[in-house]
Structure 1
């Protein structure tokens, strides 16, 4: 079966131009509803305050969303007159580190809201007339999908800022579903052999996911579920944070320098562990995947357990490969877009779900919760696939290639369904702990 045949399953491919316009407009609207909810949840003082030097003020993220939409949709695709060209540099993420952004002459809350609303009206007007077939930015509505994903990614960033915020809770959501399956094996065997990694035909896939290519992966075992809080507590209680043998040189130096003894937002009270989650302090739930751990902590736990982190190709093979057909699925459960029966996505719940909560989302090989709940650290550095070509600009992916960034896969409870798929790649510094990241372990067969 050829790579092109393996990739003929995306529903966007068969839509008419009018249907694509409707889909793009609905996707953009859902993203804006989420951004609005996250910024309307706090008062103006909280919007302009920097809650951590690791993050931008929420009002910067909001106006940055509008600035990128203006640059790509209004100006580039639409060829329209600029709305606020004087703010371009203020919201250029490469020119101003997050720690410095509060000192900039940023748009205030009312101005930022008016700006993003004006840009959105013009962008939807562009969508009404843009050709959505052919090559380049508008093929299958790519530019509109790129901007939708960009806004949803910043919504997750804003959600992480909310987690760092102090004060009374302002975000609320129902709890995730309870465990819905019986006992699961600790590990799943993934057989040796080739599979198709990445994509060449997913219309809204980003440049670092392309092109599709064949990868030969040796046999290995992968944890059936992400590592839970309960399992991680065993590592903590066994002295994992003080056992030099578990840590890389960089990881050991980092936890020693910063006095790290547990996942971020955890604290010890009496004989138990508690966490703070969006302003709520609660006992650490043993059955949920551990979250807010760095790559270094994930790798140290894996070493302590006699295992390792999976490589990125191993993770994707476990998620996408169907041994019955030999093809790579779009998602672990199949080719259909994620639904609430498949995965914990889209901020429906403000926490990971217990392991075993989504049997409908298991991969063909029997691996659970690969999408949603927590981003999963892999052991791989971020880089381009064979034949990589930057599109539509180098700064989206290429400038981050190299050993400084580690790859995360799968999305979290705060990731939108439109911003994650079986091929989607996230990346970050190995010291990051404020992001919604956990992990699962692998070992050689």
Structure 2
């Protein structure tokens, strides 16, 4: 297989995988659930469906293929910056059948275009970047739609097998990451997005990081110790936020006598103590870390723990090396609808012995979302540049809801520190004693 054939095959596979998932997420409920807004934080599912098709049309058929616009009158309806999520149900959106037909027609034309596209000549087509960008965009909206499924009330609509049970993790609770410089970000990952670029050297002092994400059981100890009632552990903004919103536990949790229950995709169950805690905001993660006498890792610390290989003195694509993720490495791709127990996936650990850095839960870091030195927006400022600043905190590593195409050791996610509906957890760190 030639390099061009391999790129074309990769693009085709990732586009099909994304569309199969979109179809699952939009066909498992009836039309009223597609057009309803299940939370003011989220779009109606039918908006996401047509938005996916519209972005694909704009960037592949128009920008790459030079084709005439199919439905120019709907561009503004599906512009994420023109219409906040809370107001999208009031727009004259395409009804479900029409949205499905539009997305399918766009995809059919894109597959024809893929057969004739040369993967060189422009930054958009180099190494199939535009096709990879659109596959990642669709998978990101698939994760968003899965969040909407978690927020919707009513009977269970999605099912998936649980992760394999894992033996109780008895390894060290933390790992020392030696100080020194390492290469952060990337300049040669062909489908990396603009905020992951360029590769640059970053100096990091020695620090310790949790071997696994913080578990539900560990987080319950924080709750039982009065963590939500003790102002000492919270930033001023965090304390004001939890007081104002009467937050006393992770989202979807409720106490039933002496035990905690949670709602997960329409099913109520006992909170499993050995799973990573999920649906906590940055303020909660930060408060837990303070209570534990620790702190959240910086983004640079997280990436060094995930990518630095001391033996080769180099940065790898993933904690386990350069190979693409496989099922034995990480919990990705909505294969499961929950995190795996802490300590799972020993084959996915880093050279230093840190586990579950990829998959299971997005991990809050201490860092604001800022550009790397030499950052250049591409192909549009609205993907990253407009979000840079102290309003957003960085999350790393992906979750069980993230597809491998949209998850790398360099991949950066960001959100407001109050967000809890996302599949977010964390691990803690501490500086090495001097």
- State TM-score, norm by structure 2: 0.99
Which residue is 2:239 aligned to?
252
Indicate the residue corresponding to 2:408 in structure 1.
Answer: 421
Other-structure match for 1:136: 123
Counterpart of 2:77 in 1: which secondary structure?
A: helix
Q: State the alpha-carbon separation in 1 of the partners of residues 2 and 343 from structure 2.
A: 35
Counterpart CA distance in 2 for 1:197 and 1:149 is 21
Matching residue of 1:323: 310
Match of 1:127 in 2: 114
1:35-81 Cα offsets, whole Å, 9 max, x none, are 00000010000000000000000000000000100000011100011
Deviation at 1:182, TM superposition (A): 4.9
Query: Secondary structure of the residue that 1:396 maps to in structure 2?
Result: coil
1:181 touches 1:357 (CA, 8 Å); kept in 2?
A: no
Partner of residue 177, structure 2: 190
Residue of structure 1 equivalent to 2:35: 48
State how far apart, in whole Å, the 2-side matches of 1:338 and 1:161 are: 26
Distance, in Å, in 2 between the alignment partners of 1:19 and 1:356 is 35
How far apart, in 1, do the equivalents of 2:348 and 2:124 lie?
32
Residue 135 of structure 1: how far off its partner (Å): 3.6
Task: Tell me which of 358, 375, 387 is aligned to 2:374.
Answer: 387
Query: 1: distance between equivalents of 2:408 and 2:356?
Result: 13
1:434 maps to what in 2? 421
Which one of the candidate residues 378, 389, 395 is aligned to 2:365? Answer: 378
Q: Give how far 1:125 is off.
A: 1.4
Q: Classify 1:15/1:185 alpha carbon distance in 2 versus 1 (closer, same or farther; 3 Å).
A: farther
Match of 1:311 in 2: 298
The offset of 1:122, in angstroms, is: 1.0
2:109 and 2:73 mapped to 1: Cα distance? 18
Match of 1:87 among 60, 74, 79: 74
CA contact (8 A) 1:180 1:359 kept: no
Q: Structure 1's 181 and 332: CA in aligned 2 closer, same or farther, altered over 3 A?
A: farther
- Give the one of 275, 291, 294 matched to 2:262: 275
Decide which of 322, 325, 342 is 2:329's aligned counterpart.
342
Match of 2:85 in 1: 98
1:227-283: per-residue Cα shift (whole Å, max 9, x none)?
A: 000000000000000100000011000000000000000000000100000000000
Question: Structure 1 residue 71 and structure 2 residue 21: aligned?
Answer: no
Instruction: Name the residue aligned to 2:148.
Output: 161
**Alpha-carbon shift at residue 15 of structure 1 (Å):** 5.7
Equivalent residue pairs, number: 432
Contact 1:406 1:430 in 2 (8 A): yes
2: CA distance, partners of 1:120 / 1:27: 13
Structure 1, residues 119-154: CA drift from partner, whole Å, max 9, x if none?
001111111111102441000000000000000000
**Root-mean-square deviation over aligned CA pairs:** 0.9
Q: 1:405 aligns with which of 384, 392, 414?
A: 392
Pick from 331, 345, 354 the counterpart of residue 358 of structure 1: 345
- Mapped to 1, the partners of 2:56 and 2:419 lie a distance apart of 27
Give the Å deviation of 1:189.
0.2
Q: 1:77 and 1:180 mapped to 2: Cα distance? A: 50
CA distance in 2, matches of 1:274, 1:30: 34
Residue in 1 that maps onto 2:216: 229
Deviation at 1:82, TM superposition (A): 1.0
SS in 2 for 1:94: coil
SS class of match (1:395): coil
Match of 1:3 in 2: none
Corresponding residue number in structure 1 for 2:320: 333
Q: 1:417 offset after TM fit, Å?
A: 0.5
Q: Note the C-alpha offset of 1:180.
A: 4.8
3-state DSSP class of the match of 2:159? coil
Tell me which stretches of 4 or more aligned residues in structure 1 moved more than 4 Å.
Answer: none
In the alignment, which residue of structure 1 is the partner of 2:132? 145
In structure 1, the residue matched to 2:191 is: 204
CA contact (8 A) 1:180 1:358 kept: no
**CA offsets, 1:80-126, max 9 Å, x none?**
11111110000000000000000000000000000000000111111
**1:35 & 1:189 partners in 2: Cα distance?**
41
